[in-house]
Chain A
Amino acid sequence: MRYLPLTDTDRSEMLATIGASGIEDLFVDVPEEARLDGPIEGLPLHASEMAVERHMRRLSKKNLAAADAPFFLGAGAYRHHVPASVDHIIQRGEFLTAYTPYQPEIAQGTLQMLFEFQTQVARLYGCAVANASMYDGSTACWEAVAMAGRVARGKKRKVVLSGALHPHYAEVVRTMAKFTEDEISDAPASLRPVPDNDGLIARIDEDTSCVVVQYPDILGRLPDLAAIAEAAHDKGALLIAVNTEPVALGAIKSPGELGADIVVGEGQSLGVGLQFGGPYLGLFAVRDAKHVRMMPGRLCGETVDAEGKRGFVLTLSTREQHIRREKATSNICTNSGLCALAFNVHMTLLGEAGLRRLAAENHRLACLAADRLAKVPGVKVLNESFFNEFTVTLGQDARAVVRTLADRGILAGVSLGRLFPGQDELADGLLVTVTETTSEDDIETLATALEEVLA
């Protein structure tokens, strides 16, 4: 058992020091009827590194990796090229195997990184303050809704959700709101070339604590955030902007710049990778620093040490669960430290120039794909505006088309039928995502295959 360094001699000596006759003496407080005697049923004995690796490789081979297929999936999880040095750095033991920086004098590496990360996210989002990350975009979205409730001091109970919010994010909010007794104002998504900004604005009233809008939205369209922000502020509500693709913000205006009060999103695109849905990286920022004490999650702040040298600490922890217990702003304890590091490194390698070029390349290829797919008989491109993902309609159930194309080794996109179960009017929609990892050949392969399948 290669991970357990005690020898039998050690064990005997230690038991003697303790004054125990055997290991079972240390389990005397466990009632006898609750003790497990004998082996765990069905579980084999310990296995060698080689044997475990073989088993896991066999399982991994049953999956079609994105790199092995023309790949067009997005909808909240994006495939981007991650520079090799990102994974190298996050595997340094001093980062990989450190804990939450509770002793700042010997955790400056993690703390300085978090400070840099907070600054990067705040700037990307056009906000004053970002936190040191959350579990993922969807849970950050719920935390933002809960925070808006705190800002309204519980006096406003209505949460207005855009129909074009990622349906899983909306479902997380709906699930949690059942328990906090917030009222959710929902509207169905619809296949319109432009988002229904007016319809959304019409639902905002004096009892609204917040309005949640995705930017770009789940169909890839760009809603008029500034107009929505103005309408929300008129009624004393906060605008929560949700971004699932941070690379887009290299090309489009930041949500903070357009008036969003809380900006949340998924940071997975930078550094983290697809990983079948997790771990991901929740981003959370507020435009106005006055809201900082209402924020959930960890914050890293700058200070000085006893010699006057600059240093960093976790701060404002009086908001948190380990101090305020049931009055805390959130029950969140763990963040996504290592994923935040991956984001931080990837963003540093890109820099502003790199991020802008990356965004431009994503948009160029997406435009190319939209134009090519528009030429496929039976295919209609829905969007007037988009960044790197857009919706096409196929004139038939897109779920079946996606499955047929998967059988041909093409991962064609995310069918709206899968995303919006029960909304049959969306069933012929297919969300197509293109990034810098998509080649022009991939686009041609998809288009040709669609021509055959739809014929």
Chain B
Amino acid sequence: MNAPNKSGWKPAMNAERRKDTGTVTGNRALMLEEPLLFEIGHADETGVDLPEPAADAPNRLGGFDRTGRIGLPGLHEPEAVRHYTRLSRQNYAIDLGLFPLGSCTMKHNPRLNEKVARMPGFADVHPLQPVDTVRGALEVINELAFWLIELTGMHGVAMSPKAGAHGELCGILCIRAALEAKGDARKVILVPESAHGTNPATAAFAGYEVEDIPATEDGRVDLEALKKRLGPDVAGVMITNPNTCGLFERDMKAISDAVHAAGGYVYCDGANFNAIVGKVRPGDLGVDAMHINLHKTFSTPHGGGGPGSGPVVLSEALSPFGPLPYTARTKDGVVHLIEEEDADAFSAEHFDGKMRSFGRMTAFHGQMGMFTRALAYILSHGADGLKQVAEDAVLNANYILRSLEGTLHAPFADSGPCMHEALFGDRGFGGDLSTLDLAKGLIDEGFHPMTVYFPLVVHGAMLVEPTETESKASLDQFIAALRNVAERAKAGDESLKQAPIHAPRRRLDETQAARKPVLAWEEDEAPAGQPAPSEQGGR
């Protein structure tokens, strides 16, 4: 069953191998093959006009002068622009269509935010300029910090963490610092099964032992199991809410109360905050620390894997332990930047001497370029718009869940509405077809696949997150495409094993990449398709 559309065009059903790819250039119509920079550039070619150094130029390099060749090819500007523009065309992106990666939250990237971040007053200022010359930048940090605290119902916020996982580390270090301040050396962090992989890695990196807490049949934290495990050795719990099954943890307050009663703290992974922003304040649920992925909830571009930004909101109990630098508006209305040199004096004056920062997590103030974008996003949506963001994100996800639950196995369809993402499993697929085959089939339908094989609690998991920036028409198109591929998978259509056939590349050999890693270009490399000499010898 193909998805009909108005033009009568039907996506290809059968996987025909494109045997006739042989053109001189490898290019075909608008599909452009692009060699590596190292194959087209030259050491003496440059796209920047710079003077040749004079023979009698001064030299104070202390005898460390570079003598040999570095091996960095250059291109003139037209060639460089063409190289990267051609490469760009081999990428899927949110600008091209729905990007339903569950738990990753890919939403439209407003271009106003890009314009704002590039204003010279933000883009062209140095992190160590005298504070009187960066008052506006500090105000941005402070204004954003203020709204993050308001929206989460928390007490303070550490702005410097560079991404979500860095924020997790920040939160766990605050917990450890708070416990140590009480002389309480606890060793264990509890992490539910449905948590992001970063959660256990973070706890381990901060020096904790990690113990799993199972999920209930309906996809939530098993409260009774959690209560049984709590004790004087448990420093805290890391919970994702809404969780990675797409569900709201109904017992969140009871979980927090139990953890607090046992002397621990609650870390909430805030990666999915976009589903509840303006609707629920995590502080009201007893959360002590939560990172906010500004790039997800407040929409900053995630350019092929980053940068991110992960400010951490903190409860009253944890606020004094946050990392430096710290930015705060004082009673006089002035925004202060507090670094190591004035931390003690500031604490004495404004925190009754209670501020005991655990230290510094990064060289400078965090992701300023993300702060300007996030603030622009918050002001653009306002109080009414942010609430609408959560509602539309949840509405879109539930629309997908209900439209597809008859087609795909939806393990938690009876567990209540999903929040921002809908979870499906591979039950009922025919032949030996897998979730991966379905995902690759979706590529031929013109969509980026959803998150696959995560969360681990569901076999062959598919986690679909449409976000609030998709129209109903785009959701309907996606639903039709996914239904089409799912029906093929259920019917055991083995041609799905060949998918994708219309992408810039067919399925890539990931096993070879891992067994014989080639991680940098080398001069002697053989042309594509032929084994390079060093591959036989191993690199």
B80 smallest CB distance to A (angstroms): 5
Interface size on B, residues (CB 8 A): 212
In the assembled complex, which residues on chain A have CB atoms less than 8 Å from the CB atom of B279? 27, 30, 35-36
Residues of chain B within 8 A of A318, CB atoms compared:
514
Q: How far is the CA of A101 from the CA of B302 in the complex (A)?
A: 11
In the bound complex, do residue B517 and residue A292 qualify as a contact, i.e. CB atoms below 8 Å apart?
A: yes
Contact with A along B101-115 (1 / 0, CB 8 A): 100101011101011
Taking a contact as CB atoms under 8 Å apart, the answer to whether A349 and B136 are in contact is no
Q: Is B213 an interface residue (CB 8 A)?
A: no
Residue in B17, B51, B125, B365 whose Cβ sees the most chain A Cβ within 10 Å:
B125
Of A87, A97, A364, the contact of B58 (CB 8 Å cutoff): A364
Could you tell me if B417 and A357 are in contact, using CB atoms closer than 8 angstroms?
A: no
The yes or no answer to B216 lying at the interface (CB within 8 A) is no
Residues of A within 8 A of B512 (CB): 303-304
Chain B residues with CB under 8 Å of A396's CB are none
Interface centre among A3, A266, A332 (most CB of B within 10 A): A3
B520 touches A129 (CB 8 A): yes
In the complex, B14 has a CB within 8 A of chain A: no
Q: Which residues of A contact B439 (CB under 8 A)?
A: 103
Choose from B75, B284, B306 the contact partner of A338 (Cβ within 8 Å).
B306
Alpha-carbon gap, A273 to B125, bound state (A): 9
Cβ–Cβ < 8 Å partners of B58 in chain A: 363-364, 367-368
Within 8 Å by CB of A1, from B60, B122, B385, B506, lies B385
A324 — which chain B residues lie within 8 A by C-beta? 201
Per-residue CB contact flags for chain A residues 258-300 toward chain B (1 = under 8 Å, else 0) read 0000000010000001111111100000000100100000111
Interface string of A118-157 (1 = CB under 8 A from B): 1110111000111011011111000000100000000000
B247 in the interface (beta carbon within 8 A): yes
Q: Does B314 belong to the interface (CB within 8 Å)?
A: no
B71 smallest CB distance to A (angstroms): 5
A376 to B533, CA, bound (A): 61
Chain A positions within 8 Å of B307 at CB level: 135, 278-279, 334, 336-339
The distance in angstroms between the C-alpha atoms of A442 and B176, with both chains bound, is 48
Whether, in the assembled complex, B225 has its beta carbon less than 8 Å from a beta carbon of chain A, the answer is: no
Cross-interface CB contact of A45 among B59, B303, B382, cutoff 8 Å: B382
A301 & B64 in contact (Cβ 8 Å cutoff): no
Name the CB-closest residue of B to A320: B197
B181 within 8 A of partner (CB): no
In the complex, chain B residues 466-514 whose Cβ is within 8 Å of any chain A Cβ: 468-472, 498, 500, 503-510, 512-514
Residue pair A95, B93 in contact (C-beta under 8 Å): yes
A452 near B: Cβ within 8 Å? Answer: no
A199 within 8 A of B: no
Question: 0/1 per residue, A385-424, Cβ < 8 Å to B?
Answer: 1110000000000000011001100010010011101100
Which of B57, B62, B340, B500 counts the most chain A CB atoms within 10 A?
A: B62
Contact B471 A132 (CB under 8 A): no
Q: Quick one: which of B43, B61, B150, B509 contacts A303, CB cutoff 8 A?
A: B509
A175→B309 CA distance, assembly (Å) = 20
User: B518 to A83, Cβ gap below 8 A?
Assistant: no
Instruction: Give bound CA distance, A349 to B301, whole Å.
Output: 24
Are A94 and B88 in contact, with the CB atoms below 8 A? Answer: yes
| Cross-chain contact A278 with B376 (CB below 8 angstroms) | no
A17 to chain B, nearest CB (A): 6
B130 close to chain A: CB less than 8 A: yes
Are A351 and B519 within 8 A (Cβ)? no
Interface string of B422-448 (1 = CB under 8 A from A): 000000000000000001100100001
A302 to B506, CA, bound (A): 14
Measured between beta carbons, the chain B residues less than 8 angstroms from A353 are 43-46, 74
Task: Let me know if A52 and B380 touch, CB within 8 A.
Answer: yes
Assembly CA distance A361 to B57 (angstroms): 9
- The answer for the CA separation of A434 and B197 in the assembled complex, in Å, is 44
* Other-chain contact of B112, A52, A302, A310 (Cβ < 8 Å): A52
Q: A118-B519, A132-B305 are contacts. A123–B203 as well, Cβ < 8 Å?
A: no
Chain A residues closer than 8 Å to B468, beta-carbon distance: 3-4, 6
Return B445 CB to nearest CB of chain A, in Å: 12
Interface string of B161-177 (1 = CB under 8 A from A): 01111101100010010
Assuming A96-B301, A105-B504, is B57 touching A360 (CB within 8 A)? Answer: yes
Judged by a CB distance under 8 angstroms, whether B354 is at the interface is no
Is A75 among interface residues, defined by CB-CB distance under 8 A? yes
User: Chain A residues with Cβ under 8 A from B372's Cβ?
Assistant: 56
A187 an interface residue at 8 Å Cβ cutoff?
no
Indicate if the CB atoms of B514 and A94 lie closer than 8 Å: no
Are the CB atoms of A315 and B510 closer together than 8 Å?
yes
Say yes or no for A190: interface residue by CB 8 A criterion: no
Interface residue? A41 (CB, 8 A): yes
Shortest distance in angstroms between B12's beta carbon and chain A's nearest beta carbon?
15
Tell yes or no: B198 within 8 A of A by CB.
yes
- A36 with B517: CB separation less than 8 A: no
- Name 10 interchain pairs, CB-CB below 8 A, sorted by A: A45-B382, A93-B95, A178-B358, A275-B369, A277-B364, A303-B512, A304-B512, A351-B44, A418-B339, A418-B341
Beyond A39-B384, A180-B207, A349-B80: 18 further Cβ-contacts under 8 Å?
A: A5-B470, A40-B151, A76-B363, A90-B303, A115-B521, A135-B162, A250-B66, A250-B70, A305-B506, A306-B506, A313-B513, A326-B200, A334-B305, A337-B307, A339-B307, A351-B72, A352-B71, A353-B74
Q: 7 closest Cβ contacts across the A-B interface?
A: A351-B74, A338-B303, A277-B364, A385-B62, A60-B121, A175-B359, A62-B136
